């Protein structure tokens, strides 16, 4: 059972407006001096909230950075672009998805999509969360970009009715849009204090490493396919 909220957000605000975020943590900054993409380099965009952006960890300890290292250790030539924005709801993500895709050097070979946790923390209607996620999946499908969807689970304090509506969203959409699914981004992490930051919400570098260990084979298989 989850003891804390299952993803990061700043203070609640209107879903259509970006909430205030800590300086230097609003986006996942890319590494300076990164090698340019080669023709055989696989490009992945990690598009999510602060769990992707790297809240309160060094950028080389963030989820996209650790995932890139894990894939490289498997012998893959991959760049994982950090497109995480702290505090993003699905509505905010939908607003910036096309811009983020168009800002890449070329069409990515894969998008890892992880949004919805901040919707849950704010009690936004699961119907709206599902609608926004579906619109993003439609945009990616239109661009012929494969997707790995990382899911969230509703915090217990929101009640069983909310959980019954929220929790099935990711599996339902993954099946509908033929996306690979990692059902719960913080699986086996959020219940272990040794893997979490003191806020009990965000994973520390060791926690991120455990997330990566759970998802890297899924990502590798998608890229090989």
DSSP annotation string for 168-200: THHHHHHHHTT-EEES-TTTTTTT-GGGB-TTS
Residue 44: partners with Cβ closer than 8 Å, 6 or more residues away: 64, 67, 68, 78, 79, 80, 81, 108, 109, 110, 111, 112, 219, 223
50 catalytic? Reply is yes
4 catalytic? Reply is no
Residue ranges of domains in the chain, CATH in brackets: 51-224 (3.40.50.1110)
* pLDDT tens-digit series, residues 184-197: 999 999 999 999 99
Among 49, 65, 202, 216, the one annotated catalytic: 202
Location of structure tokens 């300076």: 32
pTM of the model: 0.87
* pLDDT tens-digit series, residues 7-31: 444 333 333 333 333 333 455 545 4
pLDDT, residue 225, reads: 79
pLDDT, residue 32, reads: 46
216 catalytic? Reply is no
Among 161, 199, 217, 221, the one annotated catalytic: 199
Among 49, 50, 88, 119, the one annotated catalytic: 50
Q: Place 35 in a pLDDT band, splitting at 50, 70 and 90.
A: low
């Amino acid at each position: 059972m989850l003891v804390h909220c299952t993803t990061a957000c700043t203070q609640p605000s209107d879903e259509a407006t970006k909430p205030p975020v800590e300086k230097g943590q609003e986006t996942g900054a890319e590494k300076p001096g990164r090698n340019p993409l080669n023709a055989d380099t696989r490009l992945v965009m990690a598009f999510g909230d602060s769990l992707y952006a790297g809240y309160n960890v060094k950028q080389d300890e963030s989820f996209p950075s650790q995932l890139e290292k894990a894939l490289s250790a498997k012998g893959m030539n991959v760049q994982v672009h950090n497109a995480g924005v702290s505090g993003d709801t699905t509505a905010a993500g939908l607003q910036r998805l096309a811009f983020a895709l168009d800002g890449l050097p070329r069409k990515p070979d894969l998008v890892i999509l992880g949004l919805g946790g901040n919707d849950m923390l704010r009690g936004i209607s699961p119907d709206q969360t599902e609608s926004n996620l579906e619109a993003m999946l439609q945009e990616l499908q239109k661009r012929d970009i494969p997707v790995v969807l990382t899911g969230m689970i509703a915090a217990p304090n929101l009640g069983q009715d909310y959980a019954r509506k929220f929790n099935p969203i990711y599996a339902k959409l993954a099946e509908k849009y033929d996306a690979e699914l990692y059902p719960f981004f913080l699986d086996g992490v959020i219940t272990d204090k040794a893997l979490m930051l003191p806020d009990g919400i965000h994973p520390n570098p060791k926690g991120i490493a455990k997330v990566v260990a759970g998802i890297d084979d899924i990502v590798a298989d998608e890229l090989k396919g």
